[in-house]
């Protein structure tokens, strides 16, 4: 027996910096809001919690605070795709008939500054070979060479997303910036300036999934890892092959998600993608098939990916506005897109949005693509 | 070089990088692993990698990343070792990105990353 999977409720705890407040408390706020939105006396049979830095039994602590333990509670770590990994397992469990109702949430309270990860051996940190933004910068540099992207275009991605984020109460940065502001911010690793990088931060996000064929449907929730051979995949290997670089994890996740949903990139109305850095968003345009390889700069310049354009990308303001609480960010994307499909997004509403896609990619490498219809 | 020690054992020495070569698929990798990361076969032997390559991507790190106590800014990049069919992540001795260009010829060297501690690096060949 196979079921449709619908999103019955959404909840957010704002992304930002919240002083002494714990990830547990932020998670509890998001979960309570999602359950309330799903309706009175909403219950769930199982819970999946995405977190990378939450520690042991992070999900139990959240549901313990709400008196909602008893069923299976499963913590899932998949780097920046942790929340989407949780969603993919939850959706599959409903589709397969195991559960009727599942809670999915993500939480994080990131240390300040450059992300430190147990992924790297101590010697690699000591050698200066574990600077995460430096790997982003190498990729950005290649995008500039391969796709003819300019510094102004990188800055324009930030300008676009920060303009979108002005309308998002749950975002960390809610002030517009100009190309000049972005290029005047300090250089972290050429060609990336500080404003071109998202800020690791804190927050929570939750959705309630339910078996059913109405409302906003989860049409695909796919997670893929990297194939060996590419030196700049998020697996951060120390070497790659000169020839025969395999397709990126996002490309593979997207192809599988399009096939599962029976939906192609031309049918998308609105997208939330992993704008960890400005170049990463442009790469996503190419990897998701929104444009041909090398055409991401043109798509941006045409305004196609801004609110009011053909296929707005990151109407929430993206991670560049919201910041990135790793475990929560992918669920935050799904919350945003669900509300877009329900026509609830106010000043940042994409008119008539019926088909939406969320993408994350990060440490592992892990990439996810979620397709929703409303 | 007698006053310094490598930041990690067995991956490089003063002569160059030490990688692995797979008897099954013939491809090379770095650092040497217990089995071939490309095809999974276990018949891997040590192989000295080329000391000359071409610059494929580069940046400069301006803020000391976590766990790093050496000087900033420092050069960081990917060099293609054509003869080994490998791209290798490496420190670069040149920290000014404006002085580098894609395809530049680069040669193996070592660089100080902390007191008396060295990492492998590549340096541009000055014309």
Please tell me the distance from the alpha carbon of residue A275 to that of residue A273, in angstroms, as a whole number: 6
Give the tokens for residue A18: 């919240």
Q: Do A231 and B58 touch (CB under 8 A)?
A: no
Q: Do B85 and A116 touch (CB under 8 A)?
A: no
Rounded to an integer, what is the distance from CA B41 to the centroid of its chain? 24
What are the b/e assignments for A130-143, b being 16+ CB within 10 Å? bbbbbbbbbbbbbb
Out of A120, A138, A191, the one facing B77 most closely (by C-beta) is: A138
Q: Do B68 and A131 touch (CB under 8 A)?
A: yes
Q: What long-range pairs does A336-343 form, CB within 8 A, spacing at least 24? A: A336/A272, A337/A270, A337/A272, A337/A370, A337/A372, A338/A7, A338/A10, A338/A207, A338/A216, A338/A372, A338/A374, A339/A10, A340/A270, A340/A315, A340/A374, A341/A216, A341/A372, A341/A373, A341/A374, A342/A216, A342/A374
Please tell me the distance from the alpha carbon of residue A173 to that of residue A175, in angstroms, as a whole number: 6
Q: In Å, how far is B19's CA from the nearest CA of chain A? A: 10
CB-count burial class (<10 Å; 0-12, 13-18, 19+) for A205: buried
3-state SS class at A339:
helix
Out of B61, B78, B87, the one facing A128 most closely (by C-beta) is: B61
Q: What is the overall mean pLDDT for chain A? A: 96
Q: Do A241 and B38 touch (CB under 8 A)?
A: yes
CB pairs under 8 A between A and B: 126
* Range A207-232 average pLDDT: 96
Q: Do B76 and A229 touch (CB under 8 A)?
A: no
Please tell me the distance from the alpha carbon of residue A111 to that of residue A75, in angstroms, as a whole number: 20
Banded pLDDT at B1 (limits 50, 70, 90): very low
Q: Do B59 and A191 touch (CB under 8 A)?
A: yes
Q: Do A231 and B89 touch (CB under 8 A)?
A: yes
Number of C-beta neighbours around residue A231 at 10 A: 25
- A228: which chain B residues are within 8 Å (Cβ-Cβ)? 37-38
The number of C-alpha atoms within 13 Å of B126 and in the hemisphere containing its C-beta is 2
Please tell me the distance from the alpha carbon of residue B98 to that of residue B94, in angstroms, as a whole number: 10
- Model confidence pLDDT, tens digit, residues A299-346: 999 999 999 999 999 999 999 999 999 999 999 999 999 999 999 999
Query: To probe the interface with B, which of A130, A134, A197 has the most B CB atoms within 10 Å?
Result: A134
Q: How high is the pLDDT of residue B2?
A: 55
Query: To probe the interface with A, which of B57, B90, B114 has the most A CB atoms within 10 Å?
Result: B57
Q: Do A128 and B76 touch (CB under 8 A)?
A: yes
pLDDT exceeds cutoff 90 at A39: yes
Question: Containing domain of residue B118, as a range?
Answer: 5-124
Q: How high is the pLDDT of residue A2?
A: 62
Banded pLDDT at A24 (limits 50, 70, 90): very high
Q: How high is the pLDDT of residue A13?
A: 98
Query: What's the alpha-carbon Rg for chain A, to the nearest Å?
Result: 19
3-state SS class at B99:
helix
If you measure CA to CA, which chain A residue comes closest to B65?
Answer: A131
Q: In Å, how far is B127's CA from the nearest CA of chain A? A: 23
Instruction: Determine what percent of chain A falls in helix, strand and coil, rounding each to the nearest 5.
Output: 35, 20, 40
3-state SS class at A297:
helix
Please tell me the distance from the alpha carbon of residue B44 to that of residue B21, in angstroms, as a whole number: 5
Domains and CATH numbers, chain A: 5-113+201-373 (3.40.47.10)
- A130: which chain B residues are within 8 Å (Cβ-Cβ)? 65-68
Q: Using alpha carbons, list the distances in angstroms from residue A23 to A17, A36, A81, A172.
A: 11, 20, 18, 16
- B91: which chain A residues are within 8 Å (Cβ-Cβ)? 127-129
- Model confidence pLDDT, tens digit, residues B49-76: 999 999 999 999 999 999 999 999 999 9
Q: Do B66 and A141 touch (CB under 8 A)?
A: no
Residues of chain A above pLDDT 70, percent: 99
DSSP sequence for A20-87: T--HHHHHHHHHHHHHHHH-TT---SEEEEE-SSS-TTHHHHHHHHTT--SS-EEEE-BTBTHHHHHH
- B88: which chain A residues are within 8 Å (Cβ-Cβ)? 231, 238-239
- B103: which chain A residues are within 8 Å (Cβ-Cβ)? none
Domain count across chain B: 1
Please check whether residue B41 touches A, CB under 8 A.
Answer: no
Q: How high is the pLDDT of residue A113?
A: 78
If you measure CA to CA, which chain A residue comes closest to B74?
Answer: A128
If you measure CA to CA, which chain A residue comes closest to B11?
Answer: A238
Out of B37, B61, B86, the one facing A131 most closely (by C-beta) is: B61
Q: What is the ipTM of this complex?
A: 0.96
Number of C-beta neighbours around residue B69 at 10 A: 12
Read off the pTM: 0.96
DSSP run (H or E) holding A219: strand A216-225
- Model confidence pLDDT, tens digit, residues A157-204: 999 999 999 999 999 999 999 999 999 999 999 999 999 999 999 999
* Range A281-308 average pLDDT: 98
Q: Do A130 and B68 touch (CB under 8 A)?
A: yes
């Amino acid at each position: 027996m196979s079921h449709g999977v619908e999103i019955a409720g959404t909840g957010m705890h704002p992304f930002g910096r919240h002083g002494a407040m714990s990830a547990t408390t932020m998670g509890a706020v998001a979960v309570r809001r999602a359950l309330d939105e799903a309706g009175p006396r909403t219950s769930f049979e199982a819970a999946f919690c995405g977190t990378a830095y939450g520690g042991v039994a992070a999900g139990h602590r959240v549901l313990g605070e709400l008196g909602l333990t008893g069923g299976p509670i499963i913590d899932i770590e998949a780097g920046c795709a942790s929340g989407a990994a949780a969603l993919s397992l939850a959706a599959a469990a409903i589709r397969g008939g195991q559960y009727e109702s599942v809670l999915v949430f993500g939480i994080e309270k990131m240390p300040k500054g450059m992300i430190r990860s147990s992924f790297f051996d101590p010697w690699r940190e000591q050698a200066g070979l574990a600077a995460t933004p430096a790997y982003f910068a190498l990729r950005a540099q290649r995008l500039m060479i391969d796709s003819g992207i300019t510094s102004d275009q990188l800055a324009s991605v930030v300008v676009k997303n920060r303009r979108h984020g002005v309308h998002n109460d749950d975002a960390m940065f809610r002030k517009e910036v100009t190309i000049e502001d972005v290029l005047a911010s300090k250089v972290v690793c050429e060609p990336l300036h500080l404003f071109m990088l998202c800020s690791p931060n804190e927050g929570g996000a939750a959705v309630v999934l339910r078996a059913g064929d109405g409302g906003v449907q989860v049409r695909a929730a796919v997670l893929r890892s990297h194939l060996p051979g590419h030196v700049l995949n998020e697996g951060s290997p120390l070497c790659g092959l000169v020839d025969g670089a395999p397709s990126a994890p996002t490309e593979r996740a997207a192809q599988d998600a399009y096939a599962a949903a029976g939906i192609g990139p031309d049918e998308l109305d609105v997208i939330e993608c992993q704008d960890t850095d400005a170049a990463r968003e442009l790469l996503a345009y190419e990897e998701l098939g929104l444009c041909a390889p090398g055409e991401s700069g043109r798509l941006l310049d045409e305004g196609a990916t801004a609110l009011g354009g053909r296929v707005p990308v990151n109407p929430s303001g993206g991670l560049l506005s919201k910041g990135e609480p790793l475990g929560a960010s992918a669920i935050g994307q799904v919350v945003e897109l669900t509300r877009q499909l329900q026509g609830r997004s106010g000043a940042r509403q994409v008119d008539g949005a019926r088909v939406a896609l969320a993408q994350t990619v990060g440490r592992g490498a892990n990439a996810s693509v979620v397709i929703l219809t409303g | 070089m007698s006053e310094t020690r490598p930041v990690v054992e067995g991956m490089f020495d003063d002569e160059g990088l030490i990688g692995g070569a797979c008897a099954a698929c013939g491809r090379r990798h770095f650092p040497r692993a217990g089995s071939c990361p490309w095809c999974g076969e276990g018949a891997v032997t040590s192989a000295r990698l080329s000391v000359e390559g071409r610059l494929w991507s580069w940046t400069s790190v301006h803020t000391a990343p976590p766990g790093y106590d050496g000087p900033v800014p420092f050069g960081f990049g990917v060099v293609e070792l054509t003869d080994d069919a490998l791209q290798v992540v490496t420190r670069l001795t040149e920290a000014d990105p404006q002085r580098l260009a894609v395809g530049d010829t680069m040669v193996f060297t070592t660089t100080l990353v902390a007191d008396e501690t060295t990492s492998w690096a590549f340096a541009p060949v000055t014309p």
